[in-house]
Every structure is written in C-alpha cells, then in structure tokens.
Structure 1
Amino acid sequence: MSDTDRYDVLILGAGAAGMMCAAVAGQRGRRVLLIDRADEPGKKILISGGGRCNFTNIHTAPDRYLSANPHFARSALGRYAPDDFIALVDRHGIAWHEKTLGQLFCDGSARQIVAMLEAECRAGGVETTLGEAIGSVGHGDGLFRVELARRTVRAPALVIATGGPSIPKMGATGFAYDLARQFGLKVVEPRPALVPLTLGGEEALFRGLSGVAADVVARCGKAAFREAALFTHKGLSGPAILQISSYWRHGQPITIDFLPDQAARWLVEAKRARPKAALRTVLAALLPDRLAETLADRLGLPGELGGMTDRALEEAGRRLSAWAFHPNGTEGFAKAEVTIGGIDTAGLSSKTMEARRVPGLYAIGEAVDVTGWLGGYNFQWAWASGWAAAQAL
C-alpha cells in the first residue's frame, strides 16, 4: 500500500454533512479524502430553498427534531449552533436574510454555500474524489478499506455521510443503511418526510382545488403547525402539510383548521350581523373563493344564515376548525425533502457520532435517525453532526 492511498479519515458523501466534517477535520490537521460518486459536491444544497439555500434556522432546538431517541441531537446542536454557522457565512462575505419563522437564506445563490464549503475544504488540505463509484467497503487490521474504480484507499476512520433515499433523481440511495448493517448497526425504518400527502376516495374532490392555498393550522396527534397549505392535483402540500407529514403514519387522519383566527361561535355572530348572507359568501370573505365554495357545499347548509339554527352553525364552525382528512399515502421519496429514520442512534455516541461497537466508524447528517422540521433545521443538523464527528477524528 502506497502512502498516497493511506489517509487519516475517509468520508463517504460530499453533501452538507460530509463537506462540513471534511473541512473541520482537515483544518485540525487530519489527512482527509472526501469521496462522492456524483460529479460535483453539494447537489442537494444547490436545489435547496428555491436555489437560495435555507442554510439554518435561528430557532434551532432539540425538540424540533424527530428521532427514536429525541435527546440524541442535543449534544451536537448545543456545541455547534446556528450562530456558529452564521459566523462562517459572514466570514466568507455571503449576504443573507431572514425570511419567516427564523429561516435564513442567501441573498444570492445556494452555490455560494457550496463554494464556501469547498474553500474550507481546501483550507484543510482535503482531497476530493468525485464521479467515482464506491465498490466494496471493508475493515481489518484497524483500517477501513474502500475500493474505488482506480485504486483502493485505507484509513483508521470512516465517516458515513451519504444521506438517505429522498430525492433519488439527485442520486440519493439507501447506501448508508446497507453499509451500516454491514458493520452491525441497526436501522430505524426509513420513510419519506417533509413530503406532500395524497388523497383518494371521496376526498379526491379536493384535488379539483389544485393551486389553491390558505393559511391554516394542520394537526396530527399532538403536533400542530400554522403555515400555508396548498391543494394539489394529487392531494395536499404546502409548508403546513410538509411539516405535519413527518408526524403522519398511514391510516392516521390529519385535521386542518381553515380559520385559525376565528372564535368558536363566529358563524353565529356572522348570522346576527348578516342574516341574509349565504355561508359560502361569508367564507369567501376569509378564504379563496374556490375553497370557500367547496367547503360550503360539503357542509350542506344552503340558503341564508338567518334560516340556520345556532346549533347547525356552531357545528359548521367546529368542522371548519378541525376538518378531517384521511390521506391514502404520500408522494414518496421522489418528492420528500428528507428521510425520517435511518441509522439507529442507539448504536452511536451523541457526542462524537462514532459507532459504539465499531471504533473509527462514524455516521452523520441525514444518514442518521435525526430529522428536523422544515425551514433550515436539517442543514443545521448536517453542520452540527459533521462538526461533532470532526472533533473526534
């Protein structure tokens, strides 16, 4: 084995977590090889945030992440916070702005974030191999071995940073899970998250509202999010739905409060103020016309409000504040922004991201069973978990 094929650490995956880990480890004096089968690094970064990269969220906290172990993310997130990444962005002169709900975006392009990470990797002397398929991965004599097309490389440390299977058109696969299982790590069932929901049966009629959006509160179990919901030709999408999809399981209903700012008896009050108005007219003053018409039709209260009983109007108000939908599925990994599930955190150190039973093996980013809310939380996990692993390499 030549010295050129021996490294201190091999990192599989040149996405957000992998590049962060490589840059920090390299700048700590480690000889790092960053490997990705894609022809350029950071492909998911480039398409994120509409091309402007929602690179973190200032409201990051452990309770905004889903995991079989809800406390696992606390250590890494506490040691590398949004302010730390913002300082890095500022140091590279990248202009940014806060959009809504603590979400930070580049003023320019997501490509600036990739260029920043590439510059940080260069500063750490990181070697990068792109466009090469990874062959077999093995371990023996204290070294991990990765077979590439033109050579075999070895190192005492291996970092799994290849993400999950969401957005397969970007080259995403379940490779991280196969590798984890090979080394005896368990995998929590992966499923699509931050993904549109589909409707069927009688609820398919709502698909006729494709393109209509409204500010709502979406609920599933104890989880609730107030943001926009969007009707699509397949079902429901928009930020509120993407958020709630991470909590939804097949067979569960979700409920939508179409009028979260209205008091419980608002329709009774509307009857007093406008007895000759029709229900759809009153709803159209608060909701898009097509949505108001569909909801009014489904409520089955024709005629003027003055001709309806208070009880009927109270019941209509209750339905509008907790309208039940029964999704028949999601649009799958093809449209999922991230993956829930992944490499079981029970087998990893929350401080270093190292596998407890396989010294030198690490897992970071989306490959791990830690999934954030929509709005920059998953990037912050990538930065934090990558940084945490790099401190231990």
Structure 2
Amino acid sequence: MGDYDAIILGAGAAGMMCAATAGQRGRRVLLVDHADAPGKKILISGGGRCNFTNIHTAADRYLSANPHFAKSALGRYTPQDFLTLIGRYGIAWHEKTLGQLFCDGSAKQIVAMLEEECMAGNVTMALGQPVTDVAHGDGLFRVKFGDRIVSAPSLVLATGGPSIPKLGATGFAYEVARQFDLKVVQPRPALVPFTLGPDDALFQSLSGVSAEVEVRWNKTRFREAALFTHRGLSGPAMLQISSYWEHRTPIHVNFLPDLGVDWLLNEKRNRPRTGLRRVLVERFPERMADALLERIGTQGDLGNLPDKTLRQIGERLAGWTFIPSGTEGYAKAEVTVGGIATAGLSSRTMEAAKVPGLYAIGEAVDVTGWLGGYNFQWAWASGWAAGQAL
C-alpha cells in the first residue's frame, strides 16, 4: 500500500505543479527536496520577476531527440491555463518582448501560489532533506532521507538538471533513471554565454556593449540583442543559439540585419566624401565600430574605396564568423539540453514504459525550451500531465 500514493523528488516548478495537481485529485503526496525552501530557481528567474510562460509556446520551440514528444503535454496544459491559475491569485503580469510574460511584482508570488496550491491538495513537504537512497520492490518505491524510509507505488523525478550548481543543482535525476535502466541523452549546458579564444581578444575591449543582431548556426537563426563580455558573447541572441551550437563549430553574426550587403554602395553614391568610420559610427556604438574597423583593416572616404571592397565589407558585417572556444558551462547555464530520454516515457503521462509507477518531468527530461518562458511552460505542462496520471 505504501505510506503515500506518490513521492515527488524536487520542489521546483515541475515538482510543485505535479504535487498540487495530484494532491487536489485526492492523492496522498510527499514532496521531498534537499533545499530548505521550495522554488529556488523560480526565485532567481527573470531577474527576480519570473518569466513564467510564453504565449507563443509550441513544440517546435523545444530541443529534444524526439521533437514531437512535448506536443501532448503542451497541448493539454497551455499558457492560457497557467494565466487562469495566476488570475485566481490576483498576480499582475505584463508581456515584455516576443511573447514573454513576467510578474509585475516578484517571482516570490509564483512560489507562494504553488505552495498554496500544494496546501490545497494536502501535500506533505519534506524540505532540507537530501535523498540518500532510492529502491524498488513489491510494487513500491522506497526513498530514504535523513533517518526515514518512506514508500509509495509512484515516484516522480523532478530534480531538474545540473545547471546552476550554486543552487544545489545536480545530475541526481539521471542517476536514478540509469538505476532503473532508463536511457539518458548526454546532457550539456544550454542558454549559456560563449567564451572566445585569443584570436578574438580584440572584442574583449567591447565588454558591456550590446547590439541587435541576427545570429545563425547551421539553419537555426535568432534575432535579438547580443552582448559582448570580458570573456566572450552573451545576451539573448547568443544564449538562444548556444542551445544548438556544437563544440568547435562557427556561429555567424549579421551585425546589420535590416540592411542588404550593398548598403555601403548606396552610401557611397549618396555621400562619397563621408568616411567609412563615420558611416559605421552612425550604425554602431563607437567602440564597436572601431573594433570592427580594426578587424576589417580598411579606412578612408567612401568615394575613394572600390565598390568591390565596400561589398566585401557589407558581406563581412552580414556574416561575421566567430568560433567560440567553449561556453561558461553549467555555472552560468540557465538550463540543460539532454536528460532522461523521451523514448522511454509516455508523452501523455510522463511515465516510464519499462518501470510502471516511475515518472520524469520538467528539466530532468530531454526537452529544452528556448529562452523566454518556454522552460517554465514545459515544467507546468509536464508536471500537470504526470499529476493527472498519478
């Protein structure tokens, strides 16, 4: 029979959503977390305002070995469903850019709401309790923490991935999954700044400068702000493309996505006596214009420069190549690409096919969203789907 109907490991976004959903369906739920308070990652998200969903949520905005896996859960628990929930709690919100929704106040409101929802479902919380052992036999999962061993017919892995280790994040979910012979897609940091090698040392002088760009890796493109840092490249555009990037491959940056490659030829016809530097300073922050010019190695008035040279400069600015030396790793990664393989899970319930009663949700699963609220929506949707099935 077990002490509980379900034990959920991880009191983050997905775990709390799952616990509240199952608890309000009358299930006896225990929510366990090694942290002393729930929702630690929620609290730091969105600069403390929690970018809690994105109105443009669709499965094609997620990376997964199976791009169709997320469709079922996302289709059954939508951004509108989450807005209805926060509406019941009177939490004010606003849309920033690109469909990203944030709290007007604080991310604490989202955590407090999820705690209330768990209370409404009579969920028992065991916080500040690192799990030391997970076992399975006679149809029950046994979980050891502290000096207690508790049992339940269902166990939910909601402990996320290894990104942001300073909050206590680990690969614990993968270890448990492997213990039950579930495959794990090799995890790596995602939504993470790039580092640049000595070849691009020139750009370190631009630390703090940002510009709107279009960045491309293979066929994937994002148009958003890029930020130069003392170590490399960051900003939304770079974080987005980092989830797709493979080590030792180039990324291509269009510094002037609104202009064609021949724009300098038009400038030459209209004002031949204007210097190349002046034209670039009109388009870029001055420090950035100088750094690009230094790399291009051309100076002078437009009228004195051959059309071929101006076209080459236009092409270079439209497809500037960087080969990142790496990324800032899990310490700075907002999420993890990879995780528990979707091939072994039901897309409807998140239950493991080989191990009845074992579920995996949220970031622990090989489903990773774009920047901008997509990962929270996956947490709500996958948590809700499992909570309905427990």
* TM-score normalised to structure 2 length: 0.99
Take 1:252 and 1:35, find their aligned partners in 2: how far apart are those partners?
Answer: 41
Shift of 1:255: 0.6
Take 2:201 and 2:194, find their aligned partners in 1: how far apart are those partners?
Answer: 12
1:102-251 pair list within 5 angstroms: 102-251=99-248
Are residues 1:342 and 2:342 paired?
A: no
- 1:267 corresponds in structure 2 to 264
Query: Following superposition, which runs of at least 4 residues in structure 1 exceed 4 angstroms of deviation?
Result: none
Q: Which moved more, 1:290-299 or 1:119-128?
A: 290-299
- State the number of aligned residues: 390
Take 1:279 and 1:22, find their aligned partners in 2: how far apart are those partners?
Answer: 61
Shift of 1:201: 2.5
Letter in 2 for 1:288: P
Are residues 1:15 and 2:12 paired?
A: yes
Take 2:221 and 2:84, find their aligned partners in 1: how far apart are those partners?
Answer: 32
Take 1:286 and 1:382, find their aligned partners in 2: how far apart are those partners?
Answer: 40
Structure 1: tracts of 5 or more residues without a match: none
Secondary structure of 1:284's match?
helix
- 1:50 corresponds in structure 2 to 47
- 1:87 corresponds in structure 2 to 84
Secondary structure of 1:135's match?
strand
Shift of 1:264: 2.5
1:59-89: per-residue Cα shift (whole Å, max 9, x none)? 0000000001100000000000000001001
Shift of 1:273: 1.6
- 1:65 corresponds in structure 2 to 62
Take 1:223 and 1:117, find their aligned partners in 2: how far apart are those partners?
Answer: 35
- 1:286 corresponds in structure 2 to 283
Take 1:189 and 1:339, find their aligned partners in 2: how far apart are those partners?
Answer: 10
CA-based RMSD of the aligned residues comes to 0.8
Take 1:221 and 1:85, find their aligned partners in 2: how far apart are those partners?
Answer: 34
Shift of 1:202: 1.3
1:378 to 375, 379, 382: 375
Secondary structure of 2:189's match?
strand
- Percent identity, aligned pairs only, is 71
* TM-score normalised to structure 1 length: 0.98
Structure 2: tracts of 5 or more residues without a match: none
Shift of 1:232: 0.2
Take 2:259 and 2:379, find their aligned partners in 1: how far apart are those partners?
Answer: 39
Are residues 1:369 and 2:366 paired?
A: yes
Take 1:41 and 1:81, find their aligned partners in 2: how far apart are those partners?
Answer: 23
Take 1:117 and 1:90, find their aligned partners in 2: how far apart are those partners?
Answer: 13
Shift of 1:368: 0.2
2:32 to 22, 35, 53: 35
Shift of 1:353: 0.3
Take 1:226 and 1:142, find their aligned partners in 2: how far apart are those partners?
Answer: 50
Letter in 1 for 2:3: R
Take 1:111 and 1:26, find their aligned partners in 2: how far apart are those partners?
Answer: 22
Q: Which moved more, 1:281-290 or 1:155-164?
A: 281-290
Shift of 1:304: 1.1
1:162-211: per-residue Cα shift (whole Å, max 9, x none)? 00000000000000100100000010000000000000031122111100
Secondary structure of 2:272's match?
coil
Shift of 1:137: 0.3
Take 2:328 and 2:367, find their aligned partners in 1: how far apart are those partners?
Answer: 21
Letter in 1 for 2:322: F
Take 2:339 and 2:198, find their aligned partners in 1: how far apart are those partners?
Answer: 32
Take 1:204 and 1:23, find their aligned partners in 2: how far apart are those partners?
Answer: 50
Take 2:192 and 2:277, find their aligned partners in 1: how far apart are those partners?
Answer: 31
